[in-house]
Amino acid sequence: MRTRTLAIAAAACGILLGGASGARAQDADEGPAITARVHGTFVDQRGGAGVLSGDMFIARFEIQNGGVVAIGRIEGSLADSQGGVLGLVGQELVLPVTNVQSTCNQLRMDLGATDADILETRVHFDSETAGFDSRAGATPKAMGVLCAAGELLRKKPVAADLAKALEGIAATLRAQGSAGR
């Protein structure tokens, strides 16, 4: 029982103190993913600046209001201005996508700022950068879809075509994660 309690405490500290370390380690078991470090701010009950720190694991891409959005799960913590943890976060977040770049090995995109309700608190998320590097190991994990996305991007695609290409990359990564389990 004591070992289990220590393991739970260590996992919570990893998420709270390291943010990415605990969440990324868990995600690595699930396979490759398009990820971003996320940071948000809010006004806490004392009128101070509270923060949200965590990681986003992008699951899919869609068109919303005529633009491409990334939809993923954020894992992290919400803390008040005094550093007190208000709760661990594990919920879906939608962020606008711009400035997508792809080579046969890497994907990079900017995620726009947005406001979202997290643990019943209105949080403002800063602009971030998301990406994926397929070069882990000897063989690129998503070379075909990354190369195809790079070709498409050279042609200045419309939003629907870009969303379809990005969703193809996400689907390939999901399939690889499923195959590894």
Report the alpha-carbon distance of residue 78 to residue 123 in Å, rounded.
Answer: 10
- C-alpha separations of 122 from 7, 119, 172 in Å: 32, 8, 33
Better pLDDT: 66 or 4: 66
Cα distances (angstroms) measured from residue 133 to each of 24, 60, 103, 139, 163: 14, 17, 10, 12, 19
- Residue 175: band (very low, low, confident or very high) from pLDDT cuts 50, 70, 90: confident
Name the phi and psi angles at 21, rounded to 5. Answer: -60, -50
CA–CA distance, 149 with 137 (Å, rounded to integer): 21
The tens digit of pLDDT for each residue in 102-128 reads 988 889 999 999 999 999 999 999 999
Q: Which residues contact 121 (CB under 8 A, 6 or more apart)?
A: 42, 50, 78, 86
Helices (H), 51-158: 143-154
Match 């993913």 to its residue by tokens: 33
For the chain, percent of residues with pLDDT exceeding 70: 77
Residue with tokens 């998301």: 130
How high does pLDDT run on average in the chain? 81
Which one, of 39, 45, 58, 48, lies nearest residue 124 by Cα? 39
Residue 63 confidence (pLDDT)? 96
% of residues, the chain, pLDDT over 90: 57
Tokens representing 45?
């009950």
Domain boundaries, the chain: 2-179
φ/ψ of residue 154, rounded to 5: -65, -20
- pLDDT score, position 16: 39
Model pTM? 0.76
What is the tens place of the pLDDT at every residue in 10-26?
333 333 334 333 333 33
140: its two tokens: 């690129």
Res. 27 pLDDT band, cuts 50 70 90: very low
Q: What angle do CA 77, 80, 85 make, to 5 degrees?
A: 45
